[in-house]
């Protein structure tokens, strides 16, 4: 009995020893085809996640580094996709430790639905790509193939009971073979199950077809969710939109209409009560018009389409153009107005004799004020995209509530009209202020497109420089030292001298302070308060202090004998963490190239299996790698290879594309290839994980080093590796 107890204790201890191990895919997928009649079907991808794991939403939000699931269907004659993929399940929306911005993700069970049309019997094939994470790490993206049969009796089989195919697979090792099962009867609706148990057919294809599907991983579409846990996100959206409505009131198009409209109702009404009632109906009509517009956007584009568009480079270019045009318009270059025929038609039907007439008066205001409200509604709709199906409608409701509120209040308290500030130059200054803000937002959308396409037009320091210039110009304008063609003369005090009002003075102070705050970013300061707006640190060409702590970038290059990485450098260097740029550490991105450098330099190679979205990887780099002693050893005694396991923007070389028995998935991308190296050669697939080899790929120490932010431990590990290498 004692020896069994001792064996049990040893096994438990081994589990906490930090030894590398394969983490089983915590997902189980089932596929279902539902016949809707008349040649229309629903393809259902049903996902069940193990406890404590989550999958990103189709609109993940965050800092743009999260990888949403995508679904690709092979093109076949007679097959047509209807709309995009819709997701349903327990959706969570909110902040997450280590991720900038608000993120959207699912836990538990998620169902993805794609509507299709098919003109006869056929086999529907394709693949889906997904990434799952827990609170400590994200596993590299997985590729899964699917196959579903549409038979001539599909309408009858849609009512049959679904049989789920399952199998239990022993722990995966480099030598293990996946269990192949096939549960497809001729009329079975479900093709099979894959996931942690990884049910597969030949070469990983559920249909039993060998080979793999290559191509770019594109987002198939977006849809609604049945449940959301985004109360906090919706509250923030409501408050931001309501503030936008109040801000719109201060624009010339709306502000000048308040005394005219309120006076019209109070003077044309027989009693004060009737005037108040008409003004309230007018305000309600404004709210109704904008809310209906928000609902229409939700119906036409889907729950999350706006947010999905915000991650698309073409859409970002479009947003850039729109914001640029609005910004230039606000600066006074031209006026953007809707067709005058719209205004004339609605104005002709406006009167106070009926609700319909009052409604058309409100519609006239909406049309006339578009040149001022449009630039505010634009960013609002982008923000509203993170609110799911309720986002656009809630956002427009809150915006219109803030816009309509002054009309109702001044109708109830008409004497307050005498106290509001007279219109004049300050209204134009509000427009100019908003014009500068629009230009800054336009640059953000251009940056998104730039990063997606790799143009390198707006690297981090270029982006920050433009924002600094715009902030300084705004401050100078607020102080009255910069004049535009349509500005009024500055106000003068009792002595005939021009002066600046206190509100404009404080706004100028804020603008200049904002510019000063950004200046250190030109030399690589992280600027954490703006991290969700700025391009990644890897796009920064110069960082002050790079190569400090005893050696610089030139010294690092010398330590490597002048050998520099070549493969994937242009594609991957934008993802370099701050510590790499700051200390001038030279890193390779290709496994074979790193081994060749290690052999040429006679140095051990540190294989850093990392991820773009790996929070703990960044913590290890900032807390451990940045230590002076650790950095000195890394730069002088090792060749560093940063192998990103979640990089999916490039395909692996054709000769390396294959099916991995260990991973149970196809090797298609560079990230897949790096993950396969880690899993097949070192028996692990979590990040961060550090393995140490010589130039021939032989291990220098049995154990890898996982996430453990202890400088003494990591330093001791490096010293042990170095000693083993020197004693070979």
pLDDT for the residue 686: 78
Judged by DSSP in three states, 723 sits in helix
For 649-690, the pLDDT digits (tens) are 788 898 988 988 887 778 888 988 998 898 888 888 778 889
CB 285 within 8 A of CB 359: yes
Mean pLDDT of 367-390: 64
CB 165 within 8 A of CB 189: no
Mean pLDDT of 178-197: 34
d(C-alpha 318, C-alpha 433), whole Å: 23
pLDDT for the residue 5: 45
Report the first-to-last Cα separation within the chain, whole angstroms. Answer: 43
pLDDT for the residue 11: 42
Query: Binning pLDDT at 50, 70 and 90, where does residue 256 land?
Result: low
Check whether 226 has a pLDDT greater than 90.
Answer: no
Look at residues 714, 704, 707 and name the one whose alpha carbon lies nearest to residue 626.
Answer: 714
Check whether 715 has a pLDDT greater than 80.
Answer: yes
d(C-alpha 362, C-alpha 438), whole Å: 26
Query: Binning pLDDT at 50, 70 and 90, where does residue 383 land?
Result: low
Check whether 640 has a pLDDT greater than 50.
Answer: yes
Question: Whole-model pTM?
Answer: 0.47
pLDDT for the residue 425: 59
CB 61 within 8 A of CB 222: no
pLDDT for the residue 692: 93
Q: Between β-strands 142-150 and 99-118, what pairing exists: parallel, antiparallel or unpaired?
A: unpaired
pLDDT for the residue 171: 35
**CA-CA distances (angstroms) from residue 329 to 245, 359, 430, 486?**
19, 29, 13, 12
Check whether 589 has a pLDDT greater than 90.
Answer: yes
pLDDT for the residue 347: 55
Q: Which of 57-61, 178-182, 331-335, 408-412 has the lowest mean pLDDT?
A: 178-182
Query: Binning pLDDT at 50, 70 and 90, where does residue 518 land?
Result: very high
pLDDT for the residue 474: 93
Percent of the chain with pLDDT over 90: 15
pLDDT for the residue 211: 30
Residues in the chain: 728
CB 607 within 8 A of CB 701: no
pLDDT for the residue 585: 87
For 595-624, the pLDDT digits (tens) are 999 999 999 999 999 887 676 787 788 788
What is the overall mean pLDDT for the chain? 73
Consecutive H or E run containing 85? strand 79-96
Q: Which of 27-41, 92-106, 380-394 has the lowest mean pLDDT?
A: 380-394
CATH level 3 topology of 540-645+687-726: Glutaredoxin (3.40.30)
Q: Which of 224-228, 240-244, 423-427, 576-580 has the lowest mean pLDDT?
A: 224-228
Judged by DSSP in three states, 629 sits in helix
DSSP 193: E
pLDDT for the residue 577: 77
Q: Between β-strands 79-96 and 227-229, what pairing exists: parallel, antiparallel or unpaired?
A: parallel
DSSP 574: G
Mean pLDDT of 290-312: 62
For 336-363, the pLDDT digits (tens) are 665 666 556 555 655 555 666 777 777 7
Q: Which of 224-228, 294-298, 504-508 has the lowest mean pLDDT?
A: 224-228
Q: Which of 58-62, 109-113, 301-305, 412-416 has the lowest mean pLDDT?
A: 301-305
For the chain, the structural domain boundaries read: 25-204, 230-424, 460-530, 540-645+687-726
pLDDT for the residue 694: 92
Strand partners, 717: none
For 466-506, the pLDDT digits (tens) are 999 999 999 999 898 888 877 776 777 667 777 788 888 99
Dihedral angle at the C-alpha atoms of 302, 308, 312, 316, nearest 10 degrees? 90
- In CATH, the architecture of 25-204 is Sandwich (2.60)
pLDDT for the residue 690: 93
Tokens encoding 350 = 């406006």
What residues have CB less than 8 Å from 112, skipping those under 6 apart? 44, 45, 46, 47, 69, 71, 85, 86, 87, 88, 128
């Amino acid at each position: 009995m004692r020896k069994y107890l001792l064996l049990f204790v040893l096994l438990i201890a081994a589990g906490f020893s930090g030894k590398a191990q394969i983490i089983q895919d915590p997902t189980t997928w089932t596929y279902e085809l539902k016949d809707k009649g008349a040649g229309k079907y629903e393809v259902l991808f049903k996902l069940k996640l193990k406890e404590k794991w989550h999958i990103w939403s189709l609109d993940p939000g965050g800092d743009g580094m999260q990888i949403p699931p995508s679904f690709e269907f092979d093109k076949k004659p007679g097959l047509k996709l209807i709309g995009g993929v819709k997701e349903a399940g327990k959706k969570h929306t909110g902040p997450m430790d280590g991720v900038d911005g608000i993120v959207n993700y699912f836990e538990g069970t998620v169902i993805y639905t794609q509507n299709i049309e098919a003109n006869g019997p056929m086999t529907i094939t394709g693949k889906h790509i997904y990434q799952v994470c827990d609170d400590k790490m994200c596993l590299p993206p997985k590729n899964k193939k699917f196959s579903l049969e549409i038979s001539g009796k599909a309408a009858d089989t849609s009512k049959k009971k679904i049989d789920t195919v399952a199998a239990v697979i022993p722990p995966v090792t480099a030598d293990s073979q996946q269990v192949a099962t096939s549960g497809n009867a001729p009329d079975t609706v479900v093709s099979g199950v894959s996931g942690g148990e990884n049910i597969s057919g030949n070469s990983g294809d559920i249909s039993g077809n060998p080979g793999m599907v290559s191509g770019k991983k594109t987002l198939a579409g977006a849809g609604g969710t049945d449940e959301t846990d985004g109360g906090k996100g919706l509250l923030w959206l409501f408050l931001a939109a309501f503030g936008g409505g109040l801000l719109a009131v201060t624009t010339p198009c709306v502000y000048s209409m308040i005394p005219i409209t309120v006076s019209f109702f109070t003077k044309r009404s027989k009693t004060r009560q009737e005037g108040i009632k008409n003004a309230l109906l007018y305000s309600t009509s404004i709210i109704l018009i904008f809310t209906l517009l928000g609902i229409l956007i939700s119906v036409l584009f889907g729950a999350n389409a706006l947010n999905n568009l915000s991650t698309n480079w073409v859409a970002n270019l479009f947003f850039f153009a729109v914001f640029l045009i609005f910004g230039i318009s606000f600066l006074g270059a031209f006026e953007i107005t809707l067709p005058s025929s719209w205004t004339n038609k609605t104005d002709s039907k406006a009167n106070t004799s009926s609700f319909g007439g009052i409604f058309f008066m409100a519609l006239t205001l909406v049309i006339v004020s578009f040149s001022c409200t449009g630039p505010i509604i634009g960013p609002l709709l982008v923000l509203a995209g993170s609110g799911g199906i309720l986002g656009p409608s809630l956002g427009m409701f809150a915006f219109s509530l803030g816009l309509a509120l002054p009309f109702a209040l001044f109708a109830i308290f008409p004497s307050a009209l005498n106290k509001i500030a007279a219109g004049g130059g300050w209204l134009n200054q509000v427009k100019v202020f908003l014009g500068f803000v629009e230009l800054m937002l336009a640059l953000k959308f251009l940056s998104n497109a730039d990063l997606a396409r790799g143009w390198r037009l707006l690297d981090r320091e270029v982006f920050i420089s433009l924002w600094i210039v715009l902030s300084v110009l705004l401050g100078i304008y607020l102080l009255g030292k910069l004049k535009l063609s349509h500005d009024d003369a500055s106000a003068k005090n009792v002595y005939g001298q021009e002066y600046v009002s206190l509100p404009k003075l404080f706004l100028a102070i804020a603008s200049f302070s904002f510019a000063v705050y950004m200046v250190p970013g030109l030399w690589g300061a992280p600027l954490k308060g703006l991290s969700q707006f700025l391009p990644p640190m890897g796009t920064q060409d110069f960082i002050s202090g790079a190569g400090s702590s005893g050696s610089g970038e030139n010294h690092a290059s010398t330590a490597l004998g002048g050998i520099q990485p070549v493969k994937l450098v242009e594609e991957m260097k934008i993802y370099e963490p701050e510590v790499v740029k700051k200390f001038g550490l030279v890193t390779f991105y290709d496994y074979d190239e790193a081994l060749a450098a290690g052999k040429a330099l006679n140095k051990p190679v540190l294989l850093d299996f990392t991820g773009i979205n790996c929070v703990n990887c960044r913590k290890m780099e900032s807390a451990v790698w940045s230590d002076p002693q650790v950095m000195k050893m890394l730069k002088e005694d090792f060749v560093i290879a940063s192998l990103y396991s979640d990089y999916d923007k490039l395909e692996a070389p054709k000769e390396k594309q294959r099916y991995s028995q260990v991973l149970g998935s196809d090797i298609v991308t560079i990230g897949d290839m790096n993950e396969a190296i880690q899993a097949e050669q070192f028996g692990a697939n979590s990040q961060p994980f550090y393995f140490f080899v010589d130039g021939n790929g032989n291990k220098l120490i049995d154990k890898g080093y996982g996430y453990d932010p202890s400088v003494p431990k990591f330093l001791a590990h490096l010293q042990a590796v170095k000693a083993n290498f020197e004693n070979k």
